Chain A
Amino acid sequence: DTEVTQTPKHLVMGMTNKKSLKCEQHMGHRAMYWYKQKAKKPPELMFVYSYEKLSINESVPSRFSPECPNSSLLNLHLHALQPEDSALYLCASSQVTGWEWEQYFGPGTRLTVT
Chain B
Amino acid sequence: ELKVEQNPLFLSMQEGKNYTIYCNYSTTSDRLYWYRQDPGKSLESLFVLLSNGAVKQEGRLMASLDTKARLSTLHITAAVHDLSATYFCAGGGGSQGNLIFGKGTKLSVKP
Residues of A at the B interface (CB closer than 8 Å) are 33, 40-43, 45, 48, 55-56, 88, 90, 97-100, 102-108, 110
Contacts and interface: CB of A to CB of B under 8 A. Distances in A.
30 contacts: A40-B106, A41-B104, A42-B88, A42-B101, A42-B104, A43-B43, A43-B101, A45-B94, A45-B98, A45-B99, A48-B96, A48-B98, A56-B96, A56-B98, A90-B42, A97-B96, A97-B98, A98-B97, A99-B91, A99-B92, A99-B94, A99-B99, A100-B30, A100-B31, A102-B33, A102-B48, A104-B45, A105-B43, A107-B41, A108-B42
* Interface size of B as a range: 20 to 34
Most buried by A among B30, B31, B42, B106: B42
Given A42-B104, A45-B99, A100 B42 contact: no
B42 to A, nearest CB: 5
A30 to B, nearest CB: 14
Contacts, number: 58
Most buried by A among B93, B101, B103: B101
Interface string B6-33: 0000000000000000000000011101
